[in-house]
């Protein structure tokens, strides 16, 4: 009851989490500081995922080499399924100025933020925002493209979506997919079995984070319990997560 009362009378920016968020926004000038998308102007909030790590440029840093390899391949189209507010969709559009980006996000509440991100980074004309992605959508998108990269984070729906027997063009696509075996058992092995003959597959595991990843120390941060700095660099994963990085054996 006391905590609820204090939340009502204390402005958000003066609460521990609000303070760390505001500090990061101010020191980063609300742009991504490091990583493959350094310099990307960012929204004031995220959609269903960690916010501070994105501004710091440490979000999903296990995937940096994959993202750089994907960019080096210069795909003509990037399909981001589960785009949220646009970290990957807008980031890839900035790094690949000649590519089209299709951003699927079923949560319509994220579309305005995704659109705002696209506009503030000057890529709105090349980022197409759509709702839920079905296999029929992938089939239509991929059939006329020779070089496509698919980035996928769909909370277990990857089992239905990434099926080359339904979307044959996937065998020619570079695919980066977050895995959700804790929601759909054996999904990792299912995808490996589907793509093992056509793709070179790497299984990448989440790495631990450190409070050293949070670069600023102030009088206020020195007074905060360690748990708040742990929170600031955390990605709030329900379990230890992993990804499959799948590159066609013949590009």
Summarised one tens digit per residue, pLDDT across range 86-142 is 999 999 999 999 999 999 999 999 999 999 999 999 999 999 999 999 999 999 999
How many Cβ atoms from other residues are within 10 Å of residue 177's Cβ? 24
Does 187 map to a domain?
Answer: yes
Mode of pairing for the β-strands spanning 199-205 and 242-248: antiparallel
Average pLDDT over residues 53-63: 97
Average pLDDT over residues 21-36: 95
pLDDT at 251 over 70: no
Which domain range does residue 226 map to? Answer: 62-248
Does 37 map to a domain?
Answer: no
Mode of pairing for the β-strands spanning 127-130 and 100-104: parallel
Does 132 map to a domain?
Answer: yes
The answer to whether residues 125 and 55 touch, using CB atoms and an 8 Å cutoff, is no
Q: What is the DSSP letter of 38?
A: T
Does 5 map to a domain?
Answer: no
Does 238 map to a domain?
Answer: yes
CATH code: domain of residue 233: 3.40.50.150
Long-range pairs for 234-241 at CB < 8 Å and ≥24 separation?
234/50, 234/53, 234/209, 235/49, 235/50, 235/53, 235/59, 235/60, 235/206, 235/209, 236/49, 236/50, 237/206, 238/182, 239/182, 240/205, 240/206, 241/178, 241/179, 241/205, 241/206
Please tell me the total count of domains within the chain.
1
pLDDT at 2 over 50: no
Record the tokens describing residue 158, joined without a space: 């990857």
The neighbouring-strand residues paired with 150 are 79, 175
**pTM summary value:** 0.92
């Amino acid at each position: 009851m006391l905590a609820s009362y204090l939340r009502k009378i204390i402005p958000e920016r003066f609460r521990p989490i609000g303070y760390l968020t505001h500090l990061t926004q101010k020191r980063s000038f609300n742009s991504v500081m490091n990583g493959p998308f350094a310099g990307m102007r960012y929204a004031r909030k995220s959609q269903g995922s960690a916010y501070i790590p994105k501004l710091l440029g440490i979000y999903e840093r296990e995937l940096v080499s994959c993202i750089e390899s994907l960019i080096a391949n210069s795909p003509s189209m990037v399909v981001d399924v589960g785009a949220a507010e646009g970290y990957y969709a807008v980031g890839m559009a900035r790094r690949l100025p000649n590519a089209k980006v299709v951003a699927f996000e079923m949560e319509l509440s994220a579309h305005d933020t995704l659109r705002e991100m696209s506009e503030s980074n000057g890529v709105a004309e090349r980022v197409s925002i759509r709702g839920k992605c079905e296999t029929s959508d992938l089939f239509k998108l991929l059939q006329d493209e020779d070089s496509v990269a698919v980035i996928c984070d769909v909370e277990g729906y990857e089992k239905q979506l990434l099926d080359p027997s339904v979307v044959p063009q996937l065998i020619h696509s570079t695919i980066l997919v977050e895995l959700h075996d804790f929601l759909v058992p054996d999904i990792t092995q299912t995808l490996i079995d589907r793509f093992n003959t056509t793709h070179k597959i790497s299984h990448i595991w989440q790495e631990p984070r450190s409070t050293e990843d949070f670069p600023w120390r102030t009088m206020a941060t020195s007074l905060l319990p360690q748990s708040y700095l742990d929170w600031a660099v955390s990605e709030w994963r329900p379990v230890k997560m992993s990804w499959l990085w799948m590159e066609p054996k013949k590009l």
